[in-house]
Amino acid sequence: MSAITVTELTCACLDEKWRRRWLSGERPTTRSFAPPGGLPVYGALFHRLADAFVGWLTDSRRKTPSLKVGQELWNELY
């Protein structure tokens, strides 16, 4: 199984051309440059939140049965 970072996963989900290049064995850049005047994006915050959520999910097996429905999982994230 190939390893993929959160940033690569984001690119793979949002950019079909990027995904095709990655699947063909390339390592396309994950950097994106917003056009002038675009809103800033802070990836570090996303990564901290994702890591904290994964930690919370794996902290207790008792949560597993109650989070089988996607909407319940989404609600827990927020």
- 15-68 pLDDT, tens digit each: 889 999 999 999 999 887 667 777 666 677 777 877 887 777 777 666 665 666
- Higher confidence at residue 12 or residue 32? 12
Reduced to 3 states, what is the DSSP secondary structure of residue 42?
Answer: coil
What integer pLDDT is reported at residue 67 of this predicted model?
A: 61
Separation of alpha carbons 65 and 55, rounded Å? 17
Question: For position 27, what pLDDT does the model report?
Answer: 92
Phi first, then psi: give them for residue 31, nearest 5 degrees: -75, 140
The amino acid that residue 52 corresponds to is A
Give the confidence band of 71 by pLDDT, cuts at 50, 70, 90.
Answer: confident
